[in-house]
A and B are shown apart, each in its own frame.
Chain A
Amino acid sequence: MPKNAKPVVFLMADDDPDDRLLIREAFQESLLSNSIYFVEDGVELMDYLRHQAGFSNPAEAPTPDLILLDLNMPRKDGREALAEIKSDPQLRYIPVVVLTTSKAEEDIMRSYDIGAASYITKPVTFDGLVEAIRGLGQYWVQIVRLPGKESAKAK
């Protein structure tokens, strides 16, 4: 089975501290070896990805292999951040998975329209969330090959 040579770095953008905590715990339940980093809104997300503001140290803010994105956040919401990432030639290769409470068909279609790699509705129970994170990990970590960082930079 092809595996990614290095641990996969996840970056989650979510303004709700309870949700961030639940996601962290769900990761511990299902993907121990992988690392997850957090930002709280779209402005922070873009700063993180561009190594700006408080995110200039790559040891503390490594470039993510996959972004988990909430849609409804203050300052810059997930839709705007997604559009910005997908129109930036330096960032567009990073897959973005929308992870939100919204089940609105309009949000689903619009997210795919602007380049989301997938759209996951946050399950209401913790067990459901663990299950969803496990599904996410099985696909993106175990089956799929993500771009290698060094060569992606070199090319």
Chain B
Amino acid sequence: MTTQNPSITILIADDDLDDRAWIEQAYIESGVDNQLSFVQDGNELLQYLHRQGRFTAPGAAPRPDLILLDLNMPGMDGRQALTQLKSEPDIRRIPVVVLTISTDEQDIRHTYDHGGAGFIIKPETFDGMVEVVKVLNQYWFETVELASGQLVRKFRHHKPH
């Protein structure tokens, strides 16, 4: 079991500004000291992970330990982005949890078929969102071992971007 680590980075892909603010508030409320990065659609998500576009500056795109992915976004949506990033070596090791208002059984199935590590329906209340954030942190950063250890970090220094 690891302890809460302030260097944990969570990358959130969501086009809705209100939802982004709400998720951020829930993280603050839950008292966990994670670094949150936001992108607004699937294209930006891939640019962030590839350190392209507005993410080329050193430190602009720290490797996320967890990705929270909305499904319905303009341009490249969450379904396409999930399929794309799960087909890429190295990047595919980062767990992707879908966080959406969709309750469509086809979306749920698609998410798991394509390597999603969870499908969470956005809670309707702020308290519900705080609870989701707490459980996410408890599970991913205290129960689970992630593939973002030393070895991965070492590899990254040798890989030009």
Q: Give B97-112 interface residues, CB cut-off 8 Å to A.
A: 97, 103, 105-106, 108-109, 112
A135 touches B109 (CB 8 A): no
A145 touches B120 (CB 8 A): yes
Which among A120, A131, A143, A148 has the greatest number of chain B C-beta atoms within 10 A?
Answer: A143
In the complex with contacts A113-B92, A113-B93, A144-B118, A135-B147 CB distance below 8 A: no
Q: What is the CA–CA distance of A68 and B17 in the complex, to the nearest angstrom?
A: 37
What's the nearest-Cβ distance from chain B to residue A122, in Å? Answer: 11
Q: How many residues of B contact A (CB 8 A)?
A: 38
What's the nearest-Cβ distance from chain A to residue B85, in Å? Answer: 13
Q: What is the CA–CA distance of A1 and B131 in the complex, to the nearest angstrom?
A: 9
Q: How many residues of A contact B (CB 8 A)?
A: 40
Binding site secondary structure of chain B: helix
Q: Which B-chain residue is minimally distant from A142 (CB atoms)?
A: B135
Q: Which residues from chain A contact B118 at a C-beta distance below 8 Å? A: 95, 117, 139-140, 143-144
Q: Is A92's CB within 8 Å of the partner chain B? A: yes
Q: What is the CA–CA distance of A2 and B106 in the complex, to the nearest angstrom?
A: 17
Partner of A135, one of B103, B143, B145, B150: B143
In the complex with contacts A2-B120, A120-B144, A155-B106, A143-B150 CB distance below 8 A: no
Q: Which residues from chain B contact A2 at a C-beta distance below 8 Å? A: 103, 120-121, 123
Q: What is the CA–CA distance of A108 and B150 in the complex, to the nearest angstrom?
A: 12
Q: Which residues from chain B contact A155 at a C-beta distance below 8 Å? A: 105-106, 109
What's the nearest-Cβ distance from chain B to residue A102, in Å? Answer: 10
A93 touches B109 (CB 8 A): yes
Partner of A136, one of B1, B115, B143: B143
Q: Which residues from chain B contact A95 at a C-beta distance below 8 Å? A: 112, 117-118
| 14 A–B contacts, CB within 8 A, in A order | A2-B120, A92-B113, A93-B109, A93-B113, A105-B149, A105-B151, A113-B93, A117-B95, A118-B144, A120-B145, A131-B143, A136-B143, A139-B138, A155-B106
B positions within 8 Å CB-CB of A: 1, 89, 92-93, 95, 97, 103, 105-106, 108-109, 112-113, 115, 117-121, 123, 128, 131-132, 135-136, 138-140, 142-147, 149-152
Given contacts A115-B115, A118-B144, A143-B132, 4 further A-B contacts (CB under 8 A): A92-B112, A109-B147, A123-B1, A146-B119
